């Protein structure tokens, strides 16, 4: 069997039986490539629709791609499981160094099933795996968990993916944090891991990944590197990460302000938190995921003030969608602290900020009072209160117990009209401002994992074929194209930031196919890889239909985006039109070949 690109083995871990099994992997990988393709196929074929996300039968698939760990700029790992918000699919994608380490340890993917009685962690080293006692780690932060494991196992290079107290307490916004800062975030994977009593996965490998045609592969790698290295948007991203686009994002209506009451933020506040300011004051060095020429991340140190001594990896533009504009926090040190705290507690920044912002708006409107918030005054811009609420969510304490359910479930508990102020898609909190760019809006609303801009969503101003952002024309075909493309990217292990999604001159389907073909020896063109991407997306759609019962009505945006227009800025007056939305959906389903009435 040809194992080039892939390493040819997978690991099955049964936490109920405390048993690990090594299985061949290549047959499945040849059909679904790797990453999200394999994860979604296994999810669809192994789970009964009645299985609750917290039931031991739910599985978690950590899957690398055939390019992960090679000289190609590909670091990503996919995690696929059943979504604790929606009951449909969850798929999150993490950079850093975990994926390459899994490959070097001799595995393409890891399937975790069952649930242990006592806390455990999984140790994977060079072709072997062991389930070990983690009683001493339970209750520790993700940061401490990594430190303890590296110290006890005497290996500074151990890669550790762990949950924090949020995952242990089954808080729905719980994430899995890799090496202190990289995250599997959306869909509540940390809570699923907590339900399995699995505290951490620690990996160390000293093997390698062979490729089928080394010389031709290196030529393709060289081409990809040059394309990325010379790209203007990459130069901006290299300096400032995705926060390079904070000001332009605001102009394009991408910042939801005060829980989406508006979609244009005060530029004076943006000035306070510009990335250039953070670079100047706090940056110690830049950081990259494994073998990535972009190195878009930053390592910060705060030397004075309230958070003096804090040292941590920084954040991307999501922090501005989540905590800056949405909660009006314009103190850069508070943002660094909030991001670090979420990582320590094992909280996804997107899914934890949303119920907090929702509660702030309820408080502003008098729907809730401090009697229900443990005495806290929820006032826009108050970072200390946000920090306290994050702690409460992670521990499911007091008011945090309600917020830990996510906004939609929390609104059923609070009632009193609070449901209107929830911004969710398919039951999961959504983070994107979607009134202005209709392509962005459609892509987010139809995303199978319950919202999110990392499926079919695209920014029209970066995508010439998509036409004018406010127009509903030409959007469905581009959304379908990007859905197939993103699935392809997630199968091979490449970062979306290095592709045409980010800039028209970056890596496209043919570049990816050439890297894939020379790495694995399996010859596929770009359109053939996109066709496999289409199948993966269809599997996700089918899973959602069977497991969550989603239909056309679940592809609509939250009501407030159709009722309240943008109040300020270049997109003033924009909102979503229900009739035009219906037409976009008709066209979107028609292109997919799905039933137009049921979706
Ligand atoms: S572009 Fe940034 S996030 Fe993506 S792989 Fe490179 S360093 Fe990581």
CA torsion through residues 141, 143, 145, 147, sign: negative
Ligand 1 near 507 CB (within 6 A): no
* Predicted local distance difference test score (pLDDT) of residue 193: 98
153 touches ligand 1 (CB under 6 Å):
no
Pick from 191-195, 465-469, 569-573: least confident: 465-469
Nearest atom in ligand 1 to the alpha carbon of residue 290 is 5
- pLDDT, position 462: 85
pLDDT band at 438 (very low <50, low <70, confident <90, very high): very high
Average pLDDT score, the chain: 96
Q: How far apart are CA 352 and CA 175, in angstroms?
A: 10
- CA 527 to centroid of ligand 1, rounded, Å: 25
- Model confidence at 164, pLDDT cuts 50, 70, 90, reads very high
What was the pLDDT predicted at 265?
96
**Phi, psi at residue 493, to the nearest 5°?**
105, 15
Which H/E stretch holds residue 309?
A: none
Question: What is the 3 state secondary structure string of 66-115?
Answer: CCCCCCCCCCCEEEEEECCCCCCEEEEEECCCHHHHHHHCCCCEEEEECC
| pLDDT of residue 272 exceeding 80 | yes
| Nearest CA owner, ligand 1 atom 4 | 495
Q: Looking at residue 466, what is its pLDDT?
A: 86
Q: Is the dihedral of CA 593, 49, 550, 421 positive or negative?
A: negative
Centre of ligand 1 from the C-alpha of residue 301, in Å? 21
Which helix H or strand E contains 518, and what residues bound it? helix 509-520
- 3-state secondary structure at position 53: coil
594 ligand 1 Cβ < 6 A:
no
Q: Which of 486, 493, 494 is nearest to 533 (CA)?
A: 486
Question: Are residues 180 and 142 in contact, defined by beta-carbon separation less than 8 angstroms?
Answer: yes
Q: Is 221 in the pocket of ligand 1 (CB under 6 A)?
A: no
497 lines ligand 1 (CB under 6 A): yes
Q: Are residues 469 and 438 in contact, defined by beta-carbon separation less than 8 angstroms?
A: yes
**Which residues, at least 6 apart from 527, have a Cβ–Cβ distance to it below 8 Å?**
509
State the pLDDT at residue 465.
Answer: 84
The protein residue with its alpha carbon nearest to ligand 1, atom 2, reads: 296
Q: Is the pLDDT assigned to residue 2 strictly greater than 80?
A: no
Longest dimension (CA), the chain: 68
Q: pLDDT at residue 1 above 60? A: no
Instruction: Determine the distance separating the centroid of ligand 1 and the alpha carbon of 411, expressed in angstroms.
Output: 36
- Residue 14 banded pLDDT, cuts 50, 70, 90: very high
Q: What is the pLDDT of residues 479-499, one digit of tens each?
A: 999 999 999 999 999 999 999
Mean pLDDT (whole number) for 382-398: 98
**Contact in structure between 83 and 188 (CB atoms under 8 Å):** yes
DSSP 8-state class, residue 20: E
Paired strand residues for 429: 424
pLDDT tens-digit map of 510-551: 999 999 999 999 999 999 999 999 999 999 999 999 999 999
List, in order, residues 6 or more apart from 53 with CB less than 8 Å away.
81, 82, 83, 84, 87, 90, 188, 191, 192, 195
**Token couple for 211:** 């490729």
Domains of the chain, first to last: 9-204 (3.60.9.10), 244-424 (1.10.569.10), 434-592 (1.10.599.10)
Q: Contact at 8 Å (CB) between 405 and 413? A: yes
Q: What is the ipTM of this complex?
A: 0.99
Distance of CA 38 from the midpoint of ligand 1 (Å): 22
DSSP β-bridge partners for residue 12: 21, 111
Question: Residue 464's pLDDT is what?
Answer: 82
Q: Which of 96, 292, 315, 490 gets mutated to test ligand 1 (max ligand atoms within 8 A of its CB)?
A: 292
- What kind and span of H or E run contains 190? helix 189-195
Whether the CB of 295 sits within 6 Å of ligand 1: yes
What percent of the chain shows pLDDT beyond 70?
A: 100
Residue 223, both tokens: 């081409």
For residue 245, the CA-to-ligand 1 centroid distance in Å is 15
Give SS3 for 488.
helix
DSSP 347: B
Q: What is the mean pLDDT of residues 250-271?
A: 96
| Alpha helices (runs of H) in 111-174, residue ranges in sequence order | 142-153, 165-168
pLDDT on residue 54: 98
pLDDT of residue 34: 98
**CA 285 – ligand 1 centroid, Å:** 15
At residue 342, the 3 state secondary structure works out as helix
- Mean pLDDT, residues 259-271: 96
CA 382 to chain centre: 26
- Cβ of 294 below 6 Å from ligand 1: yes
């Amino acid at each position: 069997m040809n194992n080039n690109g892939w390493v040819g083995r997978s690991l099955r871990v049964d936490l109920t039986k405390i048993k690990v099994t090594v299985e061949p992997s290549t047959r499945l990988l040849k059909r679904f490539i790797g990453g999200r393709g394999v994860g979604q196929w296994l999810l669809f074929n192994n789970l009964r629709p009645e299985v609750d996300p917290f039931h031991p039968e739910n599985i978690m698939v950590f899957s690398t791609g055939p390019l992960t760990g090679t000289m190609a700029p590909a670091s990503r790992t996919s995690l696929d499981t059943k979504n604790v918000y929606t009951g449909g699919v969850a798929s999150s994608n993490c950079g850093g160094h975990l994926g390459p380490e899994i490959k070097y340890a001799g595995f393409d993917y890891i399937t975790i099933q069952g649930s242990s009685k006592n806390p455990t962690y999984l140790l994977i080293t060079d072709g072997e795996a062991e389930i070990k006692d983690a009683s001493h780690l339970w209750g520790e932060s993700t940061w401490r968990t990594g430190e303890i494991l590296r110290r006890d196992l005497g290996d500074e290079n151990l890669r550790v993916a762990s949950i924090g107290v949020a995952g242990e307490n089954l808080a729905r916004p719980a994430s899995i944090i890799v090496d202190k800062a990289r995250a599997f975030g959306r869909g509540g994977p940390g809570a699923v891991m907590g339900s399995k009593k699995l505290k951490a996965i620690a990996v160390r490998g000293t093997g390698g990944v062979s490729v089928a045609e080394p010389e031709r592969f290196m030529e393709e790698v060289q081409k990809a590197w040059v394309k990325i290295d010379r790209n203007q948007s990459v130069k901006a991203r290299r300096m400032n990460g995705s926060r390079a686009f904070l000001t332009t994002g605001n102009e394009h209506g991408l910042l939801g302000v005060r829980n989406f009451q508006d979609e244009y933020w005060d530029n004076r506040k943006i000035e306070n938190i510009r990335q250039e300011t953070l670079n100047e004051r706090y940056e110690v060095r830049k950081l990259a995921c494994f073998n990535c020429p972009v190195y878009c991340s930053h390592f910060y140190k705060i030397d004075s003030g309230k958070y003096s001594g804090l040292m941590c990896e920084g954040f991307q533009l999501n922090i501005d969608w989540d905590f800056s504009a949405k909660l009006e926090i314009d103190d850069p040190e508070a943002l660094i602290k909030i991001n670090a705290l979420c990582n320590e507690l094992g909280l996804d920044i997107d899914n934890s900020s949303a119920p907090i912002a929702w509660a702030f708006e309820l408080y502003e409107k008098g729907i809730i009072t401090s009697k229900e918030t443990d005495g806290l005054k929820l006032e826009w811009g108050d970072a200390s209160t946000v920090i306290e609420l994050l702690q409460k969510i992670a521990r499911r304490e007091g008011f945090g117990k309600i917020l830990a359910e996510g906004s939609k479930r929390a609104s059923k508990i609070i009632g009193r009209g609070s449901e209107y102020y929830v911004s969710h898609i398919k039951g999961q909190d959504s983070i994107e401002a979607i009134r202005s760019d209709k392509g962005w809006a459609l892509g987010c609303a139809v995303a199978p994992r319950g919202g999110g801009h990392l499926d079919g969503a695209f920014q029209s101003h970066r995508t010439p074929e998509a036409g004018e952002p406010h127009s509903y024309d030409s959007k469905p075909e581009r959304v379908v194209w990007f859905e197939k493309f993103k699935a392809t990217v997630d199968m091979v292990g490449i970062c979306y930031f290095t592709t045409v999604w980010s800039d028209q001159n970056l890596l496209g389907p043919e570049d990816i196919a050439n890297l894939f073909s020379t790495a694995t020896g399996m010859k596929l063109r770009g359109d053939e890889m996109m066709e496999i991407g289409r199948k993966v997306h269809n599997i996700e759609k089918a899973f959602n239909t069977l497991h969550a019962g989603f239909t056309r009505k679940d592809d609509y945006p939250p009501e407030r985006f159709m009722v309240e227009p943008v109040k300020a800025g270049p997109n003033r007056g924009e909102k979503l039109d229900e009739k035009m939305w219906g037409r976009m959906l008709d066209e979107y389903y028609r292109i997919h070949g799905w039933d137009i009435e049921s979706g």
